[in-house]
Structure 1
Amino acid sequence: MADHDGAGAVRPLTLAWVGRHLDVGERVVKTEALQGGSTAEMRRVTVGRRDGGTRDLVLRTFVDDEHAEDWLNRERGALALLAETGVPTPGLVAVDHRAVHCEYPSLLMTHLAGRTVLEDEGVEARVPLLARQLVAIHAVRPAPAERPPRYVTLTTADTVVTPKGADTAAWAAAVDVIRGPAPAYEGRFLHRDFHPGNVLFDAPSPGPEALRITGVVDWAAASWGPADLDVAHCCTNVALLHGPAWGVRFAEEYEEAGGALATSAGERLYWQVRDALALSEEVQQVSLPWRGAGRTELTARVVEERLAAYVTALMDAPG
């Protein structure tokens, strides 16, 4: 089997577990590491079929992480729920959330066509598609028993890291915003980590009119909470990837696509600021995979400067 000893190699117990979930006559013929996973090891598993062809699966493995069981349970529940909807997600094949059979907690799923697209070129065509996809996710209405756990936010006013050179008055005002209680909200099914790095695109022919989303991946943080929180998270990521103005634009596109946000400007600002300030603690972690995907100009300092400008823009916005 190719890459038996390389970065894409699958550990022996896990490989045997994968094999038990293949169809009769199938076998693993190749494994390779995939880029983009910030919380888990991701591998493409190529399976040889009885007819001589192949098909691909994706193996997600959490190594030495205390949250692995919760994350895999959330992802399993989300994939099972979304299989009955029009949201394009991987199909669930198997999960070993407690590492009973594998060396580490693992999940096996189908492979989706397409790729993540992070470059600036074509962003004006992708942002509306991202917004419409998030509206579709929030339109999913699971029964109470199928809802994922309530959302969690860990950032507090005391953990925010104000970037060097930031508008200190604007940032102080932003921190004051999250000192208050969270606004009331109507619960929605959330991806909770929806951003361009977790969306796959495919353009079968030249031109933006052919662009389409082929998949939404990484459901390990699926939650129940306010739509504003999902929107705010994508706004922040788009602002850091493409510039602060695009963060503001994404929220506008979400509403134009039929999405409903909090009724008052103050409530919207709370969620927008809460998410942006949360990333102040994770600039290095956020920017590293973007550089690995080819956006080498997005150094930690550049991303930090964009975050500083985005928070200031939020605080300076009318209303």
Structure 2
Amino acid sequence: MKIHMTAAPAVSVRKKSGAKGVLRAWQLYVLLLPALLWAAVFAYYPMYGLIIAFKDYKIRQGILGSPWADPIGKYFGQFFSTSIALNSIKNTIVISLESIAIAFWIPIIFALLLNQIQGDRVRKTIQTISYAPYFMSNVVVVSIISVFFSATGVVNHMVGSDAPILFTSLPQWFRTLYIGSNIWQTMGFNAVIYIAALTSVSPDYYEAAMIDGASKWQRIRYIDIPMIMPTVILMLILQIGNIMNIGYEKAYLMQNGSNTIVSELISTYVYKVGLQTAQYSFATAVGLFNSVVNFIILVAANMIAKKVSDISIF
């Protein structure tokens, strides 16, 4: 009986202190409210529509009025039953892994090198120039690729070969052009978070290293890289968690009859089969499959990172 009498006030005090803390910081919760509303309306409410992946969805009948698919997983089986779908899964995974192996590290290297420039004006000019391509639409980027890498383009003139290389048509060049253009387009934008992490490093570390006679490379290796490593690991986890998600726009624009064998991704396949032909249940089923696989990969990558480096998202 004495145990209950002593434990109850502690709980009530904790509850009161929590309520007082909310009231004391009510301005912060008001500022957080728009973000919570946005997440509820645009991130959680649309998840209600996932049930059409298990239904024969008809626009006139609506989501609840449409009949259930027979069998319930018909559209998942339809996706895996074709060789094109399996090939698109392979292409998506290959491009994602190559992007992680190559493109992920370029912004980090760029941020480390940019941090070594002493003049603010020069550094900001370079950062602005590298940031600018991010605002170009994929239509413009693909048009630039077509101009530079066509049979009569600038690259073929520079190569000077008698027989022009059909960069935009040959399957073996698709991934190179896709990943290379992504690096050029997003390098400056993706480097911003690493540049921000480097600016938070105390100048005392650099001063002590310079007194000890450390070179620029040694300062990068022993100060900059360890300081931004938590950020690198977190970004890598997020990148791995999106391994099945590649936007369809650029790949679809770069596609032609000659390179479809390597350019057909899950997103382009869903766009052509699921959306252009109004097979919304099929498109939703594939999207749900992508999300589940990405979630499993994200959790696995997070667990591995937590065990190896003690850094994780959750």
Q: TM-score range by the shorter chain?
A: under 0.3
Which has the bigger relative contact order, CA under 8 A and spacing at least 6? 2
Give the structure-2-normalised TM-score.
0.25
Give the structure-1-normalised TM-score.
0.25
Q: Which has the higher helix share?
A: 2
Q: Which has the higher strand share?
A: 1
